[in-house]
């Protein structure tokens, strides 16, 4: 971990730099793979599965019977946990359905919106370093609430060429029927362009590593909608003397264990907190089974001592973290000052793990500073809103002059005429 105290001589961009990699090379590699998948479909998908996942796949779709029977291989304890999480996520996301009203903007002029589910959606579930079955709940639950018609799920297999039963079980209980054992760029390409096995979708959702995120961004440029760039996990903790250093250390490590390119940041106004968190991190690291991964991403991570809370909040808003934990005595006041973050956790008893799994909020969130402009996944992500209007004859008359004057000023006489013709013929 890099320790930075009162960083006067550095710009915030220097202090808050995220792990870097060669974007040009990444885009070139991923772009080439996508072109191949577009041209050669299943054959290219299988070729890349062999190259990157070390598996030979005869068929790509998981038979429905495997989804149905997966429950037999899951402990009752795990099934109960998944069901509890699902219930909370359903509750939170179902409340996001809003009522659209008809608005009369002028007498005789009515406007309204209709909420329509996106018909065909693709869900990517990461599985390179760990099978993230919790992500199925985060994507399939809102997709089902929104009533998307066709839902396709892709996730990589393990080295045995199989998808873990817990992933299949979670897909089954969320009502997903089309599951493909495809990971990485192959999965994004297959869902974006369609192959003989994989149906083409209109919007692709889900987090993933740098290859997956780059592939989503490239297919987006080619016209397929995506939820957002949701890449390597990150967390920032803002802590004062009221924090429990051991808890803060645990939260930092919880994101570091996701992958070697994760990043954890502590911002504090207290030297004592900084020192205590650093030693708690080093102590807890030793106990982790994924110690090697976490140790690697700690190299990307920072402990920052800052002069006061106002500057700290400015810095955190500039960083725009995927997750922001505020472990400060005045957390409610500070929460109001958050402008850029994917998801915020308040107080000493709101670990990020709660949102990762089961509190009800969504864990698919913008990373790499994209929280400045993007929200995380929600019910809204799976619907679009079509506007409607009906003008009565007198309504059009009320608005006619406004439209005619504006159309004439833009030099668009046909637009003007479409109004005038109706008024004159009255
Ligand atoms: N932002 C979020 O909302 C969020 C949520 C959950 C997880 N995550 C992140 O998702 C990521 C999951 O990553 P993962 O690797 O475990 O799983 P993944 O499923 O995203 O990626 C695995 C795939 O990467 C491909 N791949 C690996 N090396 C490659 C290479 N050299 N060239 C081309 N393709 C290659 C393989 O095909 C493999 O199937 C982590 O970084 C985690 O932090 C983010
Ligand atoms: N922290 C991840 C989002 O960055 C989500 C996750 C899934 N499982 C555990 N954590
Ligand atoms: Zn996590």
Please report, for the domain that includes residue 188, its CATH number.
Answer: 3.40.50.1980
- Neighbouring residues of the ion ligand 3, judged by CB less than 5 Å: 356
Residues 37 and 141 reside in one and the same domain? yes
> What pLDDT is attached to residue 99?
87
Residues 243 and 258 reside in one and the same domain? yes
Residues 284 and 322 reside in one and the same domain? yes
| pLDDT over threshold 80, residue 212 | yes
Ligand (nearest to CA of 53) = 1
Structural domain includes residue 256: yes
DSSP E strands in 173-272: the ranges are 178-180, 203-205, 225-226, 234-239, 263-268
Q: What is the mean pLDDT of residues 335-339?
A: 98
* Joined tokens for residue 4: 């930075």
> What is the signed CA dihedral for 39, 43, 46, 47, rounded to 10 degrees?
-80
Q: What is the mean pLDDT of residues 191-209?
A: 98
> What pLDDT is attached to residue 71?
97
Structural domain includes residue 51: yes
Nearest CA to ligand 2 atom 6: 356
Give dist(CA 158, CA 92) in Å, integer: 32
Give dist(CA 152, CA 139) in Å, integer: 11
Residues 162 and 286 reside in one and the same domain? no
Residues 77 and 209 reside in one and the same domain? yes
- Please say which residue of 226, 257, 272 terminates a domain: 226
Q: What is the mean pLDDT of residues 251-274?
A: 97
Residues 272 and 171 reside in one and the same domain? no
| pLDDT over threshold 70, residue 187 | yes
Residue burial 254-277, b: 16+ Cβ < 10 Å; e: rest: bbbbbbbbbbbbbbbbbeebbebb
Nearest CA to ligand 1 atom 33: 211
pTM: 0.96
Residues 199 and 251 reside in one and the same domain? no
> What pLDDT is attached to residue 11?
82
Residues 29 and 54 reside in one and the same domain? yes
Nearest CA to ligand 1 atom 4: 207
Structural domain includes residue 196: yes
Q: Is 10 a catalytic residue?
A: no
* Joined tokens for residue 21: 């990699």
Q: Is 404 a catalytic residue?
A: no
Q: What confidence category does residue 293 fall into, taking pLDDT thresholds of 50, 70 and 90?
A: very high
Residues 203 and 258 reside in one and the same domain? no
* Proportion of the chain above pLDDT 90, given as a percent: 93
Total domain count for the chain? 3
| CA 133 – ligand 1 centroid, Å | 14
| pLDDT over threshold 80, residue 7 | no
Residues 198 and 66 reside in one and the same domain? yes
Structural domain includes residue 385: no
Nearest CA to ligand 1 atom 27: 52
**ipTM, two decimals:** 0.98
> What pLDDT is attached to residue 258?
96
| CA 132 – ligand 1 centroid, Å | 10
| pLDDT over threshold 60, residue 204 | yes
> What pLDDT is attached to residue 6?
78
Residues 242 and 344 reside in one and the same domain? yes
Range with the poorest average pLDDT among 15-19, 112-116, 207-211, 288-292: 15-19
Give pairs for 307-310: CB < 8 Å, separation 24+: 307/6, 307/269, 308/269, 309/240, 309/269, 309/334
| pLDDT over threshold 70, residue 426 | no
Question: What residues line ligand 2, using a CB cutoff of 6 Å?
Answer: 132, 134-135, 233, 255, 322, 356, 363
Q: What confidence category does residue 21 fall into, taking pLDDT thresholds of 50, 70 and 90?
A: confident
Q: What is the mean pLDDT of residues 53-58?
A: 94
- Please say which residue of 349, 375, 401 terminates a domain: 375
> What pLDDT is attached to residue 347?
98
Chain mean pLDDT for the chain: 96
Residues 284 and 204 reside in one and the same domain? no
Containing domain of residue 96, as a range? Answer: 23-101+116-226
Is 255 within any annotated ligand binding site?
A: yes
Q: What is the mean pLDDT of residues 155-181?
A: 96
Q: For residue range 114-142, what is the model confidence (pLDDT) as tens digits?
A: 999 999 999 999 998 899 999 999 999 99
What CATH number did the domain enclosing 397 receive? Answer: 1.20.5.1300
- Please say which residue of 226, 242, 263 terminates a domain: 226
Q: For residue range 356-414, what is the model confidence (pLDDT) as tens digits?
A: 999 999 999 999 999 999 999 999 999 999 999 999 999 999 999 999 999 999 999 99
Nearest CA to ligand 1 atom 17: 128
Q: What is the mean pLDDT of residues 53-69?
A: 96
* Ligand 1 pocket mutation pick from 22, 161, 185, 212 by most atoms within 8 angstroms of CB: 212
Ligand (nearest to CA of 206) = 1
Q: Are 180 and 62 in contact (CB under 8 A)?
A: yes
Catalytic residue among 93, 323, 363, 370: 323
Range with the poorest average pLDDT among 13-17, 102-106, 348-352, 383-387: 13-17
Q: Using DSSP, state whether 181 is helix, strand or coil.
A: coil
DSSP for residue 61: B
Is 356 within any annotated ligand binding site?
A: yes
> What pLDDT is attached to residue 425?
60
Structural domain includes residue 243: yes
Structural domain includes residue 161: yes
| CA 303 – ligand 2 centroid, Å | 22
Structural domain includes residue 383: no
Structural domain includes residue 18: no
């Amino acid at each position: 971990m890099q320790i930075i105290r009162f960083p006067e001589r550095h710009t915030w961009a220097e202090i808050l730099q995220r792990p870097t990699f060669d974007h040009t090379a990444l885009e070139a590699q991923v772009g080439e793979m996508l072109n191949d998948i577009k041209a050669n479909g299943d054959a290219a998908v299988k070729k890349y599965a062999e190259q990157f996942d070390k598996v030979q796949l005869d068929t790509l779709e998981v038979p429905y019977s495997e989804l149905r029977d997966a429950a037999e291989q899951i402990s009752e304890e795990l099934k109960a946990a998944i069901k509890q999480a699902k219930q909370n996520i359903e509750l939170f996301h179902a409340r996001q359905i809003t009522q659209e009203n008809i608005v009369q903007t002028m007498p005789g002029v009515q406007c309204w919106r209709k909420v329509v589910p996106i018909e065909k959606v693709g869900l990517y579930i990461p599985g390179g370093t760990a099978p993230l079955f919790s992500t199925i709940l985060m994507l399939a639950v809102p997709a089902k609430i929104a009533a998307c018609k066709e839902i396709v799920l892709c996730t990589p297999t393990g080295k045995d060429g199989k998808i873990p039963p817990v992933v299949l079980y979670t897909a089954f209980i969320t009502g997903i029927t089309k599951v493909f054992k495809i990971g990485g760029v192959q999965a994004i390409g297959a869902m974006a362009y369609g192959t003989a096995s994989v149906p083409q979708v209109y919007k692709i959702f889900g987090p993933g590593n740098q290859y997956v995120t780059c592939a989503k961004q490239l297919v987006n440029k080619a016209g397929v909608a995506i939820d957002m760039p949701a890449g390597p996990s990150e967390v920032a903790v803002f802590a004062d003397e009221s924090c429990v250093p051991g808890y803060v250390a645990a939260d930092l490590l919880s994101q570091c264990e996701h992958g070697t390119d994760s990043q954890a940041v502590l911002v504090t106004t207290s030297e004592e907190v900084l020192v205590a968190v650093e030693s708690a991190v080093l102590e807890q690291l030793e106990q982790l089974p994924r110690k090697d991964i976490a140790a690697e991403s700690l190299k990307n991570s920072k402990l920052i001592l800052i002069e006061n809370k106002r500057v700290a909040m400015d810095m955190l808003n500039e960083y725009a973290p995927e997750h922001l934990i505020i472990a400060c005595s005045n957390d409610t006041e500070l929460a109001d000052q958050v402008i850029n973050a994917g998801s915020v956790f308040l107080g000493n008893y709101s670990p990020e793990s709660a949102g990762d799994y089961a509190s009800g909020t969504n864990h698919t969130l913008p990373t790499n500073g994209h929280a400045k402009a993007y929200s995380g996944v929600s019910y809204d992500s799976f619907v679009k809103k079509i506007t409607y209007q009906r003008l009565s004859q007198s309504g059009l008359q009320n608005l006619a002059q406004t439209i005619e004057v504006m159309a004439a000023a833009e030099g668009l006489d046909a637009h003007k005429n479409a109004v005038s013709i109706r008024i004159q013929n009255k």
